[in-house]
Amino acid sequence: MVQVTSMVDYENVDGVAVLTLDNPPVNALSQGVRQGLLEGVARAEADDTVKGVLIHCKGGTFIAGADITEFGSGPLEPDLRSVLVALDNAGKPIVAAIHGTALGGGLETALCCHYRVAVASAKLGLPEVNLGLLPGAGGTQRLPRVVGVEKALQMVTTGVPVSATEALEAGLVDRVIEGDLRTGALAFTREKIAQGGTLLRIRDREDKLQSAREHPEIFDQLRKAIARKTRGFLAPEYNIRCIEAAVKQPFDEGMKTESKLFKELMTGPQSAAQQYFFFAERQAGKIPDLPKDTVELPIARVGVIGSGTMGGGIAMNMVNVGIPVTIVEVKAEALERGLAVIRKNYENTARKGRISQADVEQRCALISGSLDLNELADCDLVIEAVFEDMAVKKDIFSRLDGIARPGAILASNTSALDINEIAAVTKRPESVIGLHFFSPANVMKLLEVVRGAKTSPEVIKTCMSLAKRIRKTAVLVGVCHGFVGNRILFYRQRQAEQLALEGAPPHQVDKVLYDFGFPMGAFQMSDLAGLDIGWNAKTSRGATVKDRLCEMDRRGQKTGAGFYDYDENRNPTPSPVAEELFAEFAAKAGISRREITDEEILERCVLPMINEGAKILDEGIAIRASDIDVVYVYGYGWPVHRGGPMHYANSLGLDKVLARLRHYHELTGDDFWKPSQYLVALAEKGDRFS
Ligand code: 3HC
């Protein structure tokens, strides 16, 4: 065995040159890997005793892509494209042996091999679109030549990898290897050597392009189909253009188009934001003050209190990964309804073909319902998901304290209330934590994990890793009203309503937020959530527009009216009733109304979010700025191509953010606009949120 570089070994195994890559954790194509591949192939070509080459990786995965940490640090020779040309032009058969994931540049490397074999659990994909990029090393030109244009379009625009079985069917993999991969791949390589014949390069194949040449309309059909979902993002469109180039241009021209569009994306702000977010998401799982040897508690059974929308969604998360759940309700009808909704949700998913009917039955069988809190005695974690009323929550937690086994974790799904106050009614505040799921809880990726003053490190660690297990991204936050997400949202909401009072109709405010990239605006969001959250019919005095709307039974989408009017399909139209109410309240408050520009609306909705984010950092409620961004992208649909509010502030420049906050502070005299001291200090030093 020879070490070609510190990341690539070369071994001549009876005439097969085995190149073993070892670059933990994911065998990314760092400089040492590229250099090793280039030199390894050259060595194999020069050695007459070598008849074929096998590329194989150590560790948990095949190459998972280019090394993202190298992006932006200038080109380090050799560049990936020239390495791949060497593979493509080799005179001896090269086989890629794939396990784990072959992603991005990893799959592009495999596409420059003459053959690909994989273990059944492997996944292959071009996920560059998720980094605001496109495959820049020939992936867009080679993949359609192997799997066909439609499949390639689907893979590059969604970034979703395919399984080894799908890859085999599509011709992307030549054999699925049972048993030891290296042994099986070596045998496969020897077979190919024995077969002999001319080596077929993917770049020379044209057959799979033919159908798209005859039906060029498929490109526009796809554009239309994904328009809403990819609104505002450049990368999906650029990926489509590259595949179009593969169909319309000769291979070398197509490569030039790919290269040009790749560079455009790579130097643009969207990819910078999406690359930033890739690391932000991974950073969120790192808790600096958690001792390394903190023990994780076992979670084998979960209790959920409340079978409403949140409780049901939370239960589904658990049973989706095989954790049995007991749901406790107060009334039999409510419990029955809740369980029926869960079954209906699963049946809908099965109808769409995403799970089987057997999965539906298996998941429903893992859920048991009860009207007795005592049934939760053997649960390792109990999550309370009843309505937002401190007295009710305290009552539940004090009863639960007498029921749950010692050491069980007691969690509240509150979206705003004080976890410390809840913990104080128990004799085990160290076991109490907030687990704030976002609605719909079985869909939304975010979990805000709220640590109380006394929550133990074990409980924090267990909840962070449970989040991973149920495929959520967890962000650890501290206690304050609304935690990170809702606290910041209150500020945007307040400003949205102020804008409506000053003359911007709700639908204009919403359109500005939608065009910025949010899935919906502030008023649509309120209507969806229900305007009666925190509203009480008995005590309502019509003090706000919202109160008055609720009094008129316009309580949002569920009652067919709120800030908007809704048709039977819940399509909104601007409501004269709501607009008149804003005008009436403005007149009472002596506010003179005017036309407001879209620029002002955007600024006045977003700047307070940034300012509140800065205060949250100053108070230590969030560990780092990027955690706030993760909360916003995964919890509230902040467009990831803008990185999140804190990244967006950095991209605007904190000096500019500060100047605009000061402008509104002076203009209104309202301390709502007072810049956070933390932001002032950073901006004055010329610094950024980091
Ligand atoms: N470059 C550098 N570091 C990477 C990386 C990459 N391509 N992919 C993952 N890592 C790092 C992560 O940052 C993380 O580091 P940390 O432990 O210090 O936080 C570590 O590897 C492990 O990653 P995960 O926590 O994500 O581990 P998982 O096991 O959950 O997932 C994975 C593994 C599926 C490979 C996932 O990391 C992933 O999706 N990676 C990105 C894949 C990708 O986007 N590839 C395309 C890159 S762009 C490209 O190739 C351009 C080309 O066309 C020219």
Q: Inter-axis angle of helices 654-668 and 645-652, to 10 degrees?
A: 100
CA 458 to chain centre: 26
Nearest residue (by CA) to ligand 1, atom 26, is 282
Q: Are residues 86 and 53 in the same domain?
A: yes
Nearest residue (by CA) to ligand 1, atom 40, is 64
pLDDT, average across residues 501-529 = 97
**pLDDT over 70, % of the chain:** 100
Is residue 261 in contact with ligand 1, taking CB distance under 6 Å?
A: no
Domain presence at residue 431: yes
Nearest residue (by CA) to ligand 1, atom 25, is 282
**pLDDT over 90, % of the chain:** 98
**What pLDDT does residue 178 have?**
96
On the question of pLDDT at 75 being above 80, the answer is no
Q: Give the Å distance between the CA of 29 and the centre of ligand 1.
A: 11
What is the DSSP pairing of strand 175-177 with strand 162-163?
unpaired
Q: Are residues 511 and 475 in the same domain?
A: no
The model's confidence at residue 682, banded by pLDDT at 50, 70 and 90, is very high
Nearest residue (by CA) to ligand 1, atom 9, is 26
Nearest residue (by CA) to ligand 1, atom 45, is 65
Q: Give the Å distance between the CA of 449 and the centre of ligand 1.
A: 24
**Which one, of 190, 60, 59, lies nearest residue 117 by Cα?**
190
The model's confidence at residue 535, banded by pLDDT at 50, 70 and 90, is confident
Q: What is the token pair recorded at 687?
A: 């610094």
Helices (runs of H) and strands (runs of E) counted in the chain = 28, 20
Q: Return d(Cα 39, Cα 5) in angstroms, integer.
A: 9
pLDDT, average across residues 110-135 = 98
Q: Give the Å distance between the CA of 569 and the centre of ligand 1.
A: 41
pLDDT, average across residues 595-615 = 98
Taking only the tens place, the pLDDT of each residue in 443-468 is 999 999 999 999 999 999 999 999 99
Nearest residue (by CA) to ligand 1, atom 22, is 25
Residue for token pair 């020897």: 190
Task: Determine the structural domain holding residue 532 and report its residue range.
Answer: 486-589
What is the DSSP pairing of strand 432-437 with strand 409-412?
parallel
Q: Which atom of ligand 1 is nearest to 139's Cα?
A: 53
Is residue 101 in contact with ligand 1, taking CB distance under 6 Å?
A: yes
Whole-number Cα distances in Å, 457 to 288, 294, 433, 434, 601: 11, 7, 11, 14, 43
Q: Is the Cα dihedral 166, 170, 176, 182 positive or negative?
A: negative
Domain presence at residue 284: no
**What pLDDT does residue 147 have?**
98
Q: Return d(Cα 6, Cα 477) in angstroms, integer.
A: 40
Burial class, 288, CB count within 10 angstroms (exposed 0-12 / middle 13-18 / buried 19+): exposed
On the question of pLDDT at 348 being above 90, the answer is yes
Q: Are residues 467 and 606 in the same domain?
A: no
Helix or strand run (H / E) with residue 12:
strand 8-13
pLDDT, average across residues 386-399 = 95
Q: Give the Å distance between the CA of 478 and the centre of ligand 1.
A: 29
Say if residues 638 and 646 touch (Cβ distance below 8 Å).
no
Residue 533 vs residue 16, higher pLDDT:
16
Is residue 128 in contact with ligand 1, taking CB distance under 6 Å?
A: yes
CATH number for the domain that contains residue 63: 3.90.226.10
Is residue 127 in contact with ligand 1, taking CB distance under 6 Å?
A: yes
Q: Return d(Cα 603, Cα 489) in angstroms, integer.
A: 15
Q: Give the Å distance between the CA of 435 and the centre of ligand 1.
A: 27
Nearest residue (by CA) to ligand 1, atom 10, is 26
Say if residues 126 and 135 touch (Cβ distance below 8 Å).
yes
Q: Which atom of ligand 1 is nearest to 80's Cα?
A: 54
CA dihedral 424, 428, 430, 433 (to 10 degrees): -70
Domain presence at residue 112: yes
pLDDT, average across residues 209-238 = 97
- b/e per residue, 199-229, with b = 16+ CB within 10 A? bebbbeeeebbeebeeeeebbeebeeebeee
Q: Are residues 385 and 311 in the same domain?
A: yes
pLDDT, average across residues 270-294 = 97
Is residue 84 in contact with ligand 1, taking CB distance under 6 Å?
A: no
**What pLDDT does residue 536 have?**
87
Is residue 105 in contact with ligand 1, taking CB distance under 6 Å?
A: yes
Taking only the tens place, the pLDDT of each residue in 424-443 is 999 999 999 999 999 999 99
Q: What value does the mean pLDDT of the chain take?
A: 97
Is residue 64 in contact with ligand 1, taking CB distance under 6 Å?
A: yes
β-strand partners of 101: 123
Nearest residue (by CA) to ligand 1, atom 24, is 282
CATH number for the domain that contains residue 383: 3.40.50.720
pLDDT, average across residues 5-19 = 98
The catalytic site residues sit at: 108, 128
Q: Which atom of ligand 1 is nearest to 285's Cα?
A: 19
Q: Are residues 561 and 606 in the same domain?
A: no
Nearest residue (by CA) to ligand 1, atom 38, is 64
**Which one, of 172, 105, 95, 113, lies nearest residue 137 by Cα?**
105
What is the DSSP pairing of strand 94-98 with strand 52-57?
parallel
User: Count of CB atoms within 10 A of residue 457's CB?
Assistant: 16
**What pLDDT does residue 72 have?**
79
**What pLDDT does residue 86 have?**
97
β-strand partners of 52: 16
Q: Give the Å distance between the CA of 138 and the centre of ligand 1.
A: 20
**What pLDDT does residue 73 have?**
80
Domain presence at residue 408: yes
Say if residues 304 and 383 touch (Cβ distance below 8 Å).
yes
Q: Indicate the DSSP class of residue 372.
A: -
Whole-number Cα distances in Å, 382 to 114, 255, 326, 363, 650: 54, 55, 9, 19, 40
Q: Return d(Cα 666, Cα 688) in angstroms, integer.
A: 24
**What pLDDT does residue 534 have?**
77
Which residues, at least 6 apart from 220, have a Cβ–Cβ distance to it below 8 Å?
none
Q: Is the Cα dihedral 569, 575, 578, 579 positive or negative?
A: positive
Q: Give the Å distance between the CA of 9 and the centre of ligand 1.
A: 22
Q: Are residues 541 and 651 in the same domain?
A: no
The model's confidence at residue 275, banded by pLDDT at 50, 70 and 90, is very high
Is residue 531 in contact with ligand 1, taking CB distance under 6 Å?
A: no
Nearest residue (by CA) to ligand 1, atom 28, is 26
Is residue 131 in contact with ligand 1, taking CB distance under 6 Å?
A: yes
Domain count, the chain: 4
Q: Give the Å distance between the CA of 6 and the centre of ligand 1.
A: 20
Q: What angle do CA 608, 612, 614 make, to 5 degrees?
A: 120
pLDDT, average across residues 149-173 = 98
Q: Which amino acid does the sequence have at 225?
A: A
**Which one, of 135, 158, 143, lies nearest residue 259 by Cα?**
135
Q: Are residues 45 and 108 in the same domain?
A: yes
Is residue 126 in contact with ligand 1, taking CB distance under 6 Å?
A: no
pLDDT, average across residues 163-187 = 98
What is the DSSP pairing of strand 8-13 with strand 2-5?
antiparallel
Of 589, 622, 640, which residue constitutes the final position of a domain? 589
Domain presence at residue 283: no
Burial class, 476, CB count within 10 angstroms (exposed 0-12 / middle 13-18 / buried 19+): buried
Q: Give the Å distance between the CA of 64 and the centre of ligand 1.
A: 6
Is residue 65 in contact with ligand 1, taking CB distance under 6 Å?
A: yes
Q: Return d(Cα 638, Cα 151) in angstroms, integer.
A: 29
Q: Give the Å distance between the CA of 281 and the centre of ligand 1.
A: 11
Which residues, at least 6 apart from 167, have a Cβ–Cβ distance to it below 8 Å?
116, 118, 122, 124, 173
Q: Are residues 602 and 573 in the same domain?
A: no
pLDDT, average across residues 103-116 = 98
Is residue 68 in contact with ligand 1, taking CB distance under 6 Å?
A: yes
Nearest residue (by CA) to ligand 1, atom 13, is 279
Q: Which atom of ligand 1 is nearest to 134's Cα?
A: 53
Q: Which atom of ligand 1 is nearest to 103's Cα?
A: 45
Taking only the tens place, the pLDDT of each residue in 460-502 is 999 999 999 999 999 999 999 999 999 999 999 999 999 999 9
pLDDT, average across residues 170-188 = 98
**Which one, of 370, 368, 364, 375, lies nearest residue 328 by Cα?**
370
Q: Is the Cα dihedral 316, 322, 328, 332 positive or negative?
A: positive
Q: Give the Å distance between the CA of 273 and the centre of ligand 1.
A: 16
C-alpha atoms less than 13 angstroms from C-alpha of 377 in its C-beta half-sphere = 5
Domain presence at residue 655: yes
On the question of pLDDT at 351 being above 80, the answer is yes
CATH number for the domain that contains residue 624: 1.10.1040.10
Domain presence at residue 274: no
Peptide linkage before 429 cis (omega within 30 of 0): no
Is residue 136 in contact with ligand 1, taking CB distance under 6 Å?
A: yes
Q: Are residues 239 and 307 in the same domain?
A: no
What is the DSSP pairing of strand 325-328 with strand 302-305?
parallel
Q: Are residues 56 and 137 in the same domain?
A: yes
**Which one, of 339, 348, 409, lies nearest residue 371 by Cα?**
339
Q: What is the token pair recorded at 389?
A: 């009323």
Which residues, at least 6 apart from 75, have a Cβ–Cβ distance to it below 8 Å?
none
User: Count of CB atoms within 10 A of residue 85's CB?
Assistant: 17
Q: Are residues 132 and 202 in the same domain?
A: yes
Q: Which atom of ligand 1 is nearest to 286's Cα?
A: 19
Domain presence at residue 229: yes
Is residue 100 in contact with ligand 1, taking CB distance under 6 Å?
A: no
Nearest residue (by CA) to ligand 1, atom 35, is 64
pLDDT, average across residues 113-130 = 98
Nearest residue (by CA) to ligand 1, atom 33, is 26
Is residue 28 in contact with ligand 1, taking CB distance under 6 Å?
A: yes
On the question of pLDDT at 334 being above 80, the answer is yes
Say if residues 606 and 239 touch (Cβ distance below 8 Å).
no
Taking only the tens place, the pLDDT of each residue in 635-677 is 999 999 999 999 999 999 999 999 999 999 999 999 999 999 9
Mutate which of 7, 26, 126 for ligand 1? The one with the most ligand atoms within 8 Å of its CB, which is 26
Is residue 305 in contact with ligand 1, taking CB distance under 6 Å?
A: no
Q: Is the Cα dihedral 77, 81, 85, 88 positive or negative?
A: positive
User: Count of CB atoms within 10 A of residue 100's CB?
Assistant: 20
Q: Give the Å distance between the CA of 26 and the centre of ligand 1.
A: 6
**What pLDDT does residue 533 have?**
82
Of 451, 479, 507, which residue constitutes the final position of a domain? 479
Q: Are residues 134 and 236 in the same domain?
A: yes
Of 417, 451, 479, which residue constitutes the final position of a domain? 479
